[in-house]
Structure 1
């Protein structure tokens, strides 16, 4: 929970979205978005800093996490990028938010990039942690990467198999704890910190959403037809024109550290890139001051 904040629910699109909020009701809005395998606790410290500066912060549980639930058992449990972006847009609509700063990393950064690319009129600015241009190029996903990069993606290929589905079902905490350690080698989290987040993996849709996410991005399984039009737009790898700050952890473990800012070509608006020494994949929880400062710089 965010200190001084509250929790709430709202029906938005195909979901009943659980979210935390903090800060003045009339303040400028920032939506802070977690990734896999994390939850809103990753953004709590940054949200507290922002709320103290007069920013209204909203921190939702993504589909498949924590108390967020699908409204219908018939809705496909998709984890594709278009679904995450549509969920975020629906949340803005449901809460009557015309514009916001969108700040996230991993899955949450992907949702923020989707909305920033396709609905820029709804976005004051974008903070993208880790991968700056966090949109999948599914058509090119079959091209092999260098060996070191492929090794780091072991969990994605594991989830392509039924053994991986069974492993995630039976050992979701163990997999998540291992990924935290691999991806953030200098982050000395304790078991209480992990346990607070791991409770969100008990969501009944967690496994199906995660498995679909890591299969659909490689074209292993089809996406939800409801999002086909959005995916078609994303397939063109659209430019992002909104003001953007990219924060990359210098020791992020998902991909080998970049020697330079390779994503700048995808951004056509005001753009800043910052590397964070000794910070790994979980940027907002490992570097809440830098994350909050990036949001404030866009307001």
Structure 2
């Protein structure tokens, strides 16, 4: 089912830090699902998921993360941080602004990280978690420990973003960098030019490059965080357990975060748990395997 742009209601939701552009689908009285995109992608990831859920009676929210699309900061002096605590707090702030008591939260990459943080630190707000690629909370205190060389190679773009050369590339031509990442991370996914261009338009946000670069530098302790999130980062440094019902999906062909990386992730989850590896699927699961993503959400509906 393709998304008709005319079916989308776009709302600007004011939080203490941002005006968050949020696409909404389905009846407001239905069970709430918040679908969170990752890097280097955008809200278009859910074009084959959100409308189906809406028909089934869900109230679906697809926010544009900080630095993406029409979302913008309220103050010029707010640090343009992409650190994990900022993403998690944005999700909780969005729920507060909309008076959402609890929801199923789902995502991958940056969005999966925000969803895991909300589930770990505010489990009373999360009725279920769909997390692509397992436990996505970063272990920043131990980020200086070398990974196996093969994994370090997959993360070349992160080391690139640590340089001024990489930061300039992201500021001047994010589409060129991100196109390569799409191709590398999902080698079996034949996306169209139109599909890529629709998402690339969301990277024209004036804060995009700054948020991206800070995110990848901060996780390796190469850039300071926003002091507003120090307390949350301290809590995340403890690698908190996630107690809510969880479905983990992992693409077998994911070429940046291969499925062996989540093979033992169940140790981080204490509630009802299921994990599935998806053959022929890469990094962007809701875009590449919408039916599997939908099935995971339905299993969490309760």
TM-score w.r.t. the length of structure 1 is: 0.98
Indicate which of 88, 97, 121 corresponds to 1:85.
88
CA deviations over 1:95-143 (Å, ceiling 9, x no partner): 110000000000000000000000000001000012x100000111111
SS of residue in 1 equivalent to 2:173: helix
Is 2:257–2:283's contact at 8 Å kept on the other side of the alignment? no
Is 1:13–1:87's contact at 8 Å kept on the other side of the alignment? no
Indicate which of 20, 28, 37 corresponds to 1:34.
37
Question: Which residue does the alignment assign to 1:293?
Answer: 295
1:48 and 2:51 equivalent? yes
Cα shift at 1:22: 0.6
Cα shift at 1:52: 1.4
Distance 1:126 1:280 in 2: 20
Question: Which residue does the alignment assign to 1:249?
Answer: 251
Cα shift at 1:257: 3.4
Is 1:106–1:134's contact at 8 Å kept on the other side of the alignment? yes
TM-score w.r.t. the length of structure 2 is: 0.97
Distance 1:48 1:31 in 2: 13
Aligned residues: 298
Is 1:2–1:22's contact at 8 Å kept on the other side of the alignment? no
Backbone CA RMSD of aligned residues: 1.1
Question: Which residue does the alignment assign to 1:115?
Answer: 118
Cα shift at 1:296: 1.2
Cα shift at 1:13: 2.4
Change (3 A) 1:158 1:260: closer
Q: Which moved more, 1:70-79 or 1:142-151?
A: 142-151
Is 1:49–1:289's contact at 8 Å kept on the other side of the alignment? no
Question: Which residue does the alignment assign to 2:132?
Answer: 129
Cα shift at 1:48: 1.4
SS of residue in 2 equivalent to 1:273: strand
SS of residue in 2 equivalent to 1:237: coil
Distance 2:267 2:97 in 1: 33
Q: Which consecutive unaligned segments of at least 5 residues does structure 1 have?
A: none
CA deviations over 1:209-234 (Å, ceiling 9, x no partner): 00000000000111100000000000
Change (3 A) 1:37 1:260: closer
Q: Which consecutive unaligned segments of at least 5 residues does structure 2 have?
A: none
Q: Which runs of 4+ in 1 moved over 3 A?
A: none
Question: Which residue does the alignment assign to 2:143?
Answer: 141
CA deviations over 1:160-197 (Å, ceiling 9, x no partner): 11111011112210111000010001110010000000
Indicate which of 188, 196, 211 corresponds to 1:186.
188
CA deviations over 1:63-86 (Å, ceiling 9, x no partner): 000000000001000000000000
Residues 263-274 of structure 1 mapped to structure 2, 5 A cutoff: 263-274=265-276
1:73 and 2:76 equivalent? yes
Cα shift at 1:146: 1.3
Is 1:159–1:214's contact at 8 Å kept on the other side of the alignment? yes
Is 1:148–1:256's contact at 8 Å kept on the other side of the alignment? no
SS of residue in 2 equivalent to 1:45: coil
Is 1:5–1:22's contact at 8 Å kept on the other side of the alignment? yes
Q: Which moved more, 1:116-125 or 1:166-175?
A: 166-175
